[in-house]
Amino acid sequence: MKLNASNVSFKDLNYSIKASRDKEIIVDNVLGQRYIGSGVIGKKIIINGTPGNALGAYLMDSTIIVNGSGQDATGDTMDSGSIIVYGNCGDTTGYAMRGGEIYIKGNAGYRVGIHMKEYADKIPVIVVGGKVGDFLGEYQAGGIIVVLGIGVEGIPVGAFCGTGMHGGKIYIRSSQIPVGLPKQVVAEKLENKKEVEPYVKKYVKYFGGNAQEILKDDFIKLYPNSKNPYKQLYTKN
C-alpha cells in the first residue's frame, strides 16, 4: 500500500496506516506528522521524508525504515521490532525503550537511551553512527547503547554521560574516557570486541562501510559498578 502524506494530518495518516490490511506500507511526502507507527503490530512501514515526534512509540514486532531524519522521542517505550533511520535523530531517542532495536546512520540529540530497561531476553539496542548530545544513557536500567563516532573528532558523546545509570552497557568508539562520569559508572577499555561486533556488522549492513575498519579502533565500555545502590531496585540481576 502507498500513502501520500502531503497535507494530511497526523491523525488521519496514522488511522490509514493502522486500518490497512497490508503488511508493507510506503508513506511518501512525510513532513512532521507525529506518532507514525505508534502501537503498530506486525507491519513494515517505509517513510520517505521527515516524521515528527514519537515515531514508532510502543512499536511491536514491526519495522520502520526512515529515508530521512527523525525528530524527538523516536522509539518511545518501544517494545520490539526495529527502527532504521538513514539520517539523524533528535532528543530522547529510545526513551524508556524496553525491547527492539534502533539504528541511526548519523547523529542523535540529548538524553539518548534515557530510562532504557531490559527483562529476561528482551534487551533493547540503540546504535548511533555519529555523535550524541549530553546525558547519554541517563537513568539507564538495561539495554545496550553503541556510539560509533564515524567522522567525529574527539569523544562522540556529550557531557553527563551515564548520569543515574544503574543497568545496561554503553560502548563508545574512542580511546578517551568521557569527562565527568558519575561515581557509580565504571569506564574501561573494551578488550573483547565481540561484545560490539554484531551491532557494528548490522550497522554496516544497513548503511554501508567496513566493519573491520570500525572494529580495529578502541572502544570504551561503561557499566554501573556493583556498589550502585539502585541496581537491585530496577534491574533483573
Q: Which domain covers residue 231, as residue numbers?
A: 118-237
pLDDT at 183: 87
Name every residue whose Cβ is closer than 8 Å to that of residue 23 and which is 6 or more positions away in sequence. 42, 43, 44
Q: Grid coordinates 539504528 are at which residue?
A: 103
Of 130, 7, 108, give the one whose Cα is nearest residue 55: 108
The per-residue pLDDT for range 33-64, each reduced to its tens digit, is 999 999 999 999 999 999 999 999 999 999 99
Would 123 be classed as within a structural domain? yes
Task: Reply yes or no on whether the pLDDT at 237 is more than 60.
Answer: no
Task: Reply yes or no on whether the pLDDT at 235 is more than 80.
Answer: no
What percentage of the chain carries pLDDT values higher than 90?
92
Rounded Cα–Cα distance for residues 126 and 75 (Å): 10
Residues 61 and 141 in one domain: no
DSSP string, 7-72: T--HHHHHHHHHH---SEEEEEEEES-S-TTTT-BS-EEEEEEE--TTTTTT-BS-EEEEES---T
Would 168 be classed as within a structural domain? yes
pLDDT at 49: 98
140 DSSP assignment: -
What percentage of the chain carries pLDDT values higher than 70?
95
pLDDT at 216: 97
The per-residue pLDDT for range 177-202, each reduced to its tens digit, is 998 898 889 999 999 999 999 999 99
Rounded Cα–Cα distance for residues 204 and 166 (Å): 30
Residues 15 and 82 in one domain: yes
Query: Cβ(103)–Cβ(83) under 8 Å?
Result: yes
Residues 55 and 138 in one domain: no
Would 194 be classed as within a structural domain? yes
Residues 56 and 143 in one domain: no
The per-residue pLDDT for range 114-164, each reduced to its tens digit, is 999 999 899 999 999 999 999 999 999 999 999 999 999 999 999 999 999
Residues 172 and 213 in one domain: yes
DSSP 3-state of 83: strand
- Mean per-residue pLDDT for 15-31? 96
pLDDT at 42: 95
| Amino acid at site 20 | S
213 DSSP assignment: H
DSSP 3-state of 104: strand
Residues 146 and 189 in one domain: yes
Rounded Cα–Cα distance for residues 90 and 86 (Å): 13
Helix (H) or strand (E) holding 232: helix 231-234
Would 93 be classed as within a structural domain? no
Torsion of CA 46, 52, 54, 57, to 10 degrees: -20
Would 100 be classed as within a structural domain? no
The per-residue pLDDT for range 209-230, each reduced to its tens digit, is 999 999 999 999 999 987 665 5
Residues 150 and 202 in one domain: yes
| Amino acid at site 167 | G
Residues 74 and 123 in one domain: no
pLDDT at 227: 67
Number of domains in the chain: 2
